[in-house]
Chains A and B, each alone.
Chain A
Amino acid sequence: MLYFLGYPQNGHRRGVRARLMRLFPCSTAKKPSASNQNSVEDELELSAVRHRPEGLEQLEAQTRFSRKELQILYRGFKNECPSGVVNEDTFKDIYAQFFPQGDASTYAHFLFNAFDTDHNGSVSFEDFVMGLSILLRGTVQEKLNWAFNLYDINKDGYITKEEMLDIMKAIYDMMGKCTYPVLKEETPRQHVEIFFQKMDKNKDGVVTIDEFIDCCQNDENIMRSMHLFENVI
C-alpha cells in the first residue's frame, strides 16, 4: 500500500540516478536492473490491489443498514471503483462532480481522512459503510463526534483556529468564484471567528470535544439539521 502511495516519487528519483549512471560506461550494470525490478514489483503490487469486503451478514451486524440497503450501496460503490477500494484521487474526482462550480479537492481530502479510519490511504467498502452508518443512522452524539473528527485534522482531540480555518477555506473553495455576494479574502476567517466565539466557552483558543458537543446540543438550528438526511438511503 505504501508503495502504491509513494511510487511515483521513488520511481522518479531512481530514474534520474539511473539515467546519470548509464552515461558513464564504467558504472555497475546491476544498479539499473535493480531499479527495474523494483518498478516491476510495484506494477504487480498496483495491479494486485483488490479488495473483497466482508460478508453481508457481518456488515449487517456492524452497521445499521438493512441487507437490501447494503446491496444497493455496494453495487454503486463497485460500479465506480471496480477494484474495491477508493484511493484519494478517485475520491476527489467523484466528490468534485457534485460541485462543478468550485474546487472540491481540499474538502474531499479532509473527508477522505475522516472516512479512512485506519489511515491506510484507501477507503474500502467497510470504511465507507461504517461512515455512512454513523452519518445516516447514528445518534446525534455519534454524528457530532464524527463532525468533530472531521474538523480535527491532526486528530489530537482539539480543534485549533488554524485547523478550522483550513476546513472553512475548503468549504468556501467549493463555492467557486461566481458567488453572490462576491467572496472576499477575509470571509472564511470571519466565519471561523464566529464559530470560535460560539463554541470556545473557556476562551482558550481551542475547542474540545465536550465544548463542541455541548454547544451544538444547545443550538436549535444545528440539532434540527442533524436530522436532515436521515432518509437518504
Chain B
Amino acid sequence: MAISMQPHGIQSMLKEGHKHLSGLDEAVLKNIDACKQLSTITRTSLGPDGMNKMVINHLDKLFVTNDAATIVNELEVQHPAAKILVLAGKAQQEEIGDGANLTISFAGELLQNAEELVRTGLHPSEIISGYTKAITKTLEILEELVEKGSETMDVRNKEQVVSRMKAAVASKQYGLEDILSSHIADACIQVCPKNPVNFDVDNVRVSKLVGGVLHNCTVIRGMVLKGDAVGSIKRVEKAKVAVFATGVDSSATETKGTVLIHSAEQLENYAKTEEAKVEELIKAVADSGAKVIVSGGAVGEMALHFCDRYKLMVLKISSKFELRRFCRTTGTSALLKLSQPKPDDLGFVDSISVEEIGGSRVTVVRSEDGGNKVATVVLRGSTDSILDDLERAVDDGVNTYKAMCRDSRIVPGAAATEIELARRLKEFSFKETG
C-alpha cells in the first residue's frame, strides 16, 4: 500500500481515501500474492480426501463444505484481484456446475509460476502470450486424450451414467458416492426429455428432511412439498387435479365498497347468498371431475368447508416456482379465477398422500407413468449442514449429467489427464523458441 507523499499528481486528482498501486512491485506481485493465498485456502478441499471448511457467513449461517465455489462465495473476499478468481470459480459453477476448485487452484498455481518468471525479469506481456499459446495447444492435446468410444452414450442407461457420475459425487462425499450416484442417476433418467440436450437441471428437485441417515434417501417420481394438506382429506389416489394460481376464496373487491341494504329480507339473505356463491363455485370444480384443488394463495374458510363437503383434497403451494413445477409434473394448466375448469385444464396424479418423515409432515405427490417431468431426491441426514452439503453433491451430479447429455466424451480423472497434458506440453515447449 504505497501512500505516496506527493500531494500533486494522480493522488490529488482522485477522491479522498482511495488507494493507488502501480508498477511491478506493488500491483503485479501483490495481486499474485493475494490470489495465491486464496488458492491455498481452497487447495486442501480438492478431491475425495479434501478437507471441509467451516464458514459462517454474515447472516450467521453455518456452512461445512468442501465445494470451492460455495466456500469462496461465502468468504466475502475483499481484495480485487482475488475477487477475479472468485468470479472465475463462479463462472465455472454456472456453466458446468463442477470443477470450481480445479479452476481456482489451477489459476493460483499459474500465477505462482508466473511470479517466479516475473522476478527473473520477464515482462508480463510475454508471459501472457506464452500462456495463450499454451492454452491453445492444451485444448488440442485434450481432444486426443479423450477415451475411445465414449462419444456416443445412451443417456438413459443407468450403469453408464453412474460410472461417469461417481467421480464427481465422490469428490464431494467420499464413501457415499455409490448410494448417492445411484439415486441421482435414477432421478435424472426419469426426468430426461426426448431430446437429451434439452435436459433441465431444474427438474430434479432436492428435498431436505432432517433426521435419519443417508441410507434412507429415496427418489420419488414426482414432488415432495413441505407441509400438510389443508383440509381433512389426506390421501387420494388416481385423481384429477385443478390448479388455481390465486387463492381459493370468495372474491372481495379492491375498492372500498359499502353494501347498501334496503330491506329486511335483503339483510337476511345477505349471508346466505355469499355462502351459496362459494358453494356453487366449489361444486363446479367438483363436477368437472377434479378430486384435488391446489391453491397458490390462501384458501378461505368457507371454501375449505365446502371442499371438505364435496370430498376434495386441498393443497396450498405458496411459492410461484413450486406451483409451476407442480403444473409441469401433473400436466395441469393453472387457472387464474375460481371457476369451472375445462377438462384439458385438469392434470392427473397417481397419488397424493401426507406422510410423516422424520417428525415432519410432508405431502408426497407421485406421478408414475409417462409425462412426469419432475423427480425429487429426498435427502435425510442428521444436521442441516450435512444436508446442505449433500444437496451440493446432488447438484454436482445433476450438472455432470447435463454435461453428459451435451457431450458425453470422458477423459481419465484423478489427475491422470493433467499429468499427461503437462508432459506433452513440455515436449511442445522444447520446440518453441524464445
- Is B one of A's binding partners? no
User: What residues of chain A have their CB less than 8 Å away from a CB belonging to chain B?
Assistant: none
User: What residues of chain B have their CB less than 8 Å away from a CB belonging to chain A?
Assistant: none
